[in-house]
Amino acid sequence: MTAFTGIGPLVGLIVRRDRLRLALWIGALAAVAAATAVALARLLPTADARALFAAGITGNAAVVALIGPVFDATSIGGLTAWRLGSLGATVVGLMSLLTVVRHTRAEEEAGRRELVGAAAVGRHAALAAALATTAAADLLLAALVAGGLAACGLPLAGSLALGASFATTGWLFAAIAAVAAQLVENARAASAIAGATLGVAYVARAVGDSGRGALSWLSWASPIGWAQRVRPFAGERWWLCALATAVAAALAALAAVLSARRDLGAGLLRGRPGPATASPRLRSPLALAWRLQRTTLFSWTIAFAAIGAALGGVAHSVADLLDSSPRMRLLIATLGSAGDITDAYFAATFGVLGLVAAGHALQATLRLRSEEEDARAEPVLAASVSRVRWASGHLLFAALGPALALAAAGTAAGLVHGGPDDIPRLLAAALAQLPAVCVLVAIAVALFGLAPRYTRASWGALAAFLLLGQLGRLLQLPTWLLDLSPFLHIPHLPGGPVALTPLLALLAIAAALTAAGLVAFRRRDVG
């Protein structure tokens, strides 16, 4: 038996377990790529319009930091690559690292890897299967992105280069996650290490792109910067894809070497043992939920405060950009409010932050399902703790977390943009997203109670709402389809009118779905 014996069946197992998850990731990203090309073609149909647009963004350091540089603003393909380059590479990297950690370190932590290893399975088969499946998923995504862009009439070479830049970035962060999985003993720490590396790569790219002179080298030190500098539709640099592939292969080999040097279930970095007895502060389900959720809560709040400060800091320069481009002014006005252009900018960006906060809310809500699947809920429920009381502790943080994060973003944006006097209106604009976030949480709770196997399909609802909100109006989708997204019923604040009826309706829908989920949870079996 070799070290890779059994890799085929393990790949089949991973595909079977993640078929829905990967299909949602791949389908959503491929759809966004094609929809972006179509939307840009409608928004900027002539060369003059594209030239005016390029003149506004080329010299704007804030926009370049957020999205990246434009290598060819004369074509729809070049603008599509600019709009998708760093964002697409970041999302593919996130998908890849989460998939690898899920099927390596998480499997060991749950004890399933030991059961599989008792069969005729080689030492490195599980690691190789996770990397092979992730690589195949990234390659499929690249093919769909390239095919979709080519079907939209864009040049084939550039379409293939953009897809390849996504795939090779995914391979690189999959290999980074494989190395992280060998270092630590639990999946959350491995995901944190790989995710932090992805975040550092994005920030390094942003600083390098917007900086001058001594800082520009940071773009070349970032894998996200490599993906952008493949330059799809602008004189493709295929050698950067080869470089990312070579680095990924080297890191994958390193992960295999590290895997051979540790025991199953252990990490190369030893974890500290916990206290022998639990703290008195863990005597209630709410206290337990706080212990489990607090790190995530603090991390998201700090991140949102930083993002809010950045949004407030660039608001004036973005307003200047929009004033120089009537078409972009019209675009932001459709996404934000029809009044002051700065208010429209904040309304549009807070709408995006609302969707991101919904991701945090889903993460907190889905902790219910992971606690149940890992058999940690049963011992708690075996005591004098009702199911609703146990679930309510986690749901409190599913609502409190996004509220604190959005409040931090609104406060920071107001403080940086206009000082203390600007805080109340931007804080209100940020918190206005909460009713829509609550609807998404309620969808997850309803699935948890009624169809627990499909609880994670709530991520698909978030992806659908994201597509409807960001591209629905540009693509002129039917009104009834747009109305399915709760985020499109939020008032356009600051600057727009406030109607209480839609907000109350959203809260009523959220309450009804949550009640249905909790009632169903009380009546079904646990496990």
DSSP states of 216-280: THHHHTSHHHHHHTT-TTSS--HHHHHHHHHHHHHHHHHHHHHHHTS-TT--SSPPPP--SS--G
Closest CA to 73 of 436, 325, 360: 325
* Span 3-33, pLDDT tens digits: 677 788 888 888 898 888 888 889 888 888 8
* Amino acid 324: pLDDT: 52
**Residue 384 pLDDT more than 50?**
yes
CA distance linking residue 178 with residue 19, whole number of Å: 21
Contacts of 299 (CB under 8 A, 6+ apart): none
* Amino acid 337: pLDDT: 47
* Amino acid 341: pLDDT: 67
Closest CA to 307 of 407, 457, 211: 407
Maximum mean pLDDT: which of 42-56, 102-116, 157-171, 294-308:
157-171
Assigned token pair, 448: 């948890």
Taking a C-beta distance cutoff of 8 angstroms, is the pair 143, 109 a contact? no
Confidence band for 435, pLDDT divided at 50, 70 and 90: very high
CA distance linking residue 215 with residue 480, whole number of Å: 48
* Amino acid 474: pLDDT: 60
Q: What is the pTM of this model?
A: 0.76
**Residue 275 pLDDT more than 60?**
yes
Confidence band for 132, pLDDT divided at 50, 70 and 90: very high
Confidence band for 303, pLDDT divided at 50, 70 and 90: confident
DSSP calls for 31-50: HHHHHHHHHHHHH--SHHHH
* Amino acid 27: pLDDT: 87
**Residue 340 pLDDT more than 70?**
no
* Amino acid 250: pLDDT: 95
Assigned token pair, 377: 């809920």
Which residue type occupies 347? A
CA distance linking residue 460 with residue 340, whole number of Å: 34
Mean pLDDT (whole number) for 335-353: 69
* Amino acid 58: pLDDT: 65
**Residue 62 pLDDT more than 60?**
no
* Amino acid 330: pLDDT: 53
Residue 134 burial (10 A CB sphere; 0-12, 13-18, 19+)? buried
**Residue 316 pLDDT more than 70?**
no
Taking a C-beta distance cutoff of 8 angstroms, is the pair 124, 107 a contact? no
Lowest mean pLDDT among 110-124, 141-155, 173-187: 110-124
CA distance linking residue 229 with residue 240, whole number of Å: 8
Compute the mean pLDDT over every residue in the chain, rounded to the nearest whole number. Answer: 83
Lowest mean pLDDT among 145-159, 162-176, 425-439, 487-501: 487-501
* Amino acid 338: pLDDT: 46
**Residue 348 pLDDT more than 90?**
no
- The proportion of the chain whose per-residue pLDDT surpasses 70, expressed as a percent, equals 87
Mean pLDDT (whole number) for 225-240: 91
Q: List Cα–Cα distances, 322 to 85, 210, 345, in angstroms.
A: 22, 19, 9
Q: Which residue has the higher pLDDT, 312 or 399?
A: 399
Residue 125 burial (10 A CB sphere; 0-12, 13-18, 19+)? buried
How are the residues of the chain apportioned to helix, strand and coil, as percentages rounded to the nearest 5? Answer: 80, 0, 20
- The proportion of the chain whose per-residue pLDDT surpasses 90, expressed as a percent, equals 25
3-state secondary structure of 105: helix
Taking a C-beta distance cutoff of 8 angstroms, is the pair 337, 311 a contact? no
**Residue 163 pLDDT more than 90?**
yes
Mean pLDDT (whole number) for 397-424: 87
516 φ, ψ (degrees, to nearest 5): -65, -40
CA distance linking residue 247 with residue 172, whole number of Å: 7
Confidence band for 511, pLDDT divided at 50, 70 and 90: very high
